[in-house]
């Protein structure tokens, strides 16, 4: 079961200092999905955030620090999460036409971390 809080993560100030936010983002932090805007979170997004939970292990604070400081690390971590998200999406949407729409999912613009 996934725990979702409708609030900002504890490190929101550090995130804001590095990433331009639109206000619709969701954040993975220590096993909790922070969803301040209360947007819909589908199973493919949960799959994405679950990868970040695993990446963070028991040290989410440390992971976030590295994630914000190192662009390459960020890309690498996001790539792994997007891959899991894509496969979750494909599992849910077995129809090939639906899969094509994957490219136009708002999530792919990187509104979640
Ligand atoms: Zn992510």
Residues less than 5 Å from ion ligand 1, measured at CB: 78, 81, 113
- Rounded distance from Cα 82 to ligand 1 centre (Å): 7
pLDDT tens per residue across span 62-71: 999 999 999 9
Q: What is the pLDDT of residue 95?
A: 67
Number of domains comprising the chain: 1
CA of 27 to the centre of ligand 1 (A): 8
CA dihedral sign, ordered 69, 74, 75, 76: positive
User: If you average pLDDT over every residue of the chain, what do you get?
Assistant: 89
pLDDT at res. 57: 98
Which among 37, 43, 45 has a CA at the least distance from the CA of 110?
45
Cα of 107 vs centre of ligand 1, distance in Å, is 10
CA of 31 to the centre of ligand 1 (A): 13
Helices (H), 19-95: 43-56, 60-69, 71-92
Ligand 1 centroid, distance to 97 Cα (angstroms) = 25
Ligand 1: centre distance to CA 96 (Å): 24
Domain extent at residue 37: 3-109
> What is the pLDDT, as a whole number, of residue 112?
73
Q: How far is the CA of 7 from the centre of ligand 1 (A)?
A: 17
> pLDDT tens, position by position, for the chain (113 residues)?
899 999 999 999 999 999 999 888 999 999 999 999 999 999 999 999 999 999 999 999 999 999 999 999 999 999 999 999 999 988 888 766 665 554 445 455 556 78
Burial (CB < 10 A; 0-12, 13-18, 19+), residue 62, is exposed
């Amino acid at each position: 079961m996934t725990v979702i809080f409708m609030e900002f993560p504890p490190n929101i100030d550090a995130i804001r200092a590095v990433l331009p936010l639109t206000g619709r983002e969701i954040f993975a932090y220590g096993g909790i999905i922070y969803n301040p805007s209360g947007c819909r979170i589908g199973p493919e997004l949960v799959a994405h955030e679950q990868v970040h939970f695993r990446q963070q292990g028991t040290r989410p604070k440390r992971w976030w620090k590295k994630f914000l400081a190192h662009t390459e690390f960020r890309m690498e971590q996001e790539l792994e999460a997007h891959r899991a998200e894509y496969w979750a999406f494909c599992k849910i949407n077995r129809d090939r036409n639906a899969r094509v729409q994957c490219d136009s999912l708002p999530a792919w613009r990187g509104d979640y971390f």
